[in-house]
Structure 1
Amino acid sequence: MWYNDMRLDHFSYTDDRRFPLRWVWNMTFYKDGGPIFFYTGNEGDLDGFIAATGMIFDLAPNFNAAIIFAEHRFYGKTQPFGNASYANVGNMGYLTSEQALADFADLLWELKTPNNRYNFTFPASTPIISFGGSYGGMLSAWFRIKYPHLITGQVVFLSLI
């Protein structure tokens, strides 16, 4: 799926530019009253993280959870400036963890807004548990700190090789 109306700069009152952010949801295990398991996208293509994050899919049936993965801006297919995303330092100024967290918050807020563009609305009371590993784990922890009104808890995991 694409969230086609993501703000380029969430913290500016004068910059109204938008870009499409890629995200995936899996409603296989979701039942009313279940939480959202939200994966905070890392520095890579979304498909690789979906394939490598079995824990979410293992836990979701036990909690009747919806699963949502969001791609981090400037990675994978989520390129705010298309092929020119890495062309100059001015563009790269929008590649920050703060902007990425605001992207995630905006997407989740949209999914809890009645009559949203996706023809499905999660109840406002739906708990959200964020998941992430490595940099994504840091994003998950920061997400809980920065947006405690959205995130109920987080799971941070590491891969030891």
Structure 2
Amino acid sequence: MEHITGAKAAIAAVIGCLTALWGWFGWLVFAWVVCMAIDYITGSCAALRAGEWSSKQARDGLWHKLGAVVAVLVAVILDGVIGIILANIPALTLPFDYTVFVSVLVLVWYIMTELGSIVENAGALGAPVPAWLANAIAALEARVDQAGEQLGQGEDSANRDV
């Protein structure tokens, strides 16, 4: 029993250290990376089960994931540039402290996309998947899309109900 308590304490310490190092944004990135890995593995398994697996499709999936990484990096750079602009141009102010926003939207959108794909893969593997789960993921993804679309619009559209 002491080993289990020690293992729990060690896991809690590691998670605490990582949270102090990464913060909530780091855990969001971690969740996205885990979702990408699960999607790739379950997609490959579903293709194998259907007898449709090919190395070309597997490579295309990896290229797709690389493109997503590049898009997230662009969002992180954009957040950094916005932060620099806001810190150095006194005429530009926001009613809140700006740290990250665009990259959070992009990451959450990609996480929702990966979760939707994982649910599809689970169904292709033969698991019963409740329709409401896929619908909930699609609805969340649509809300993130709406928030992203409002990002570049004026204050009038930002005050409308989404």
TM-score, with structure 1 as normaliser: 0.29
Higher relative contact order (CA 8 A, sep 6+): 2
Task: Point out the structure with the larger strand share.
Answer: 1
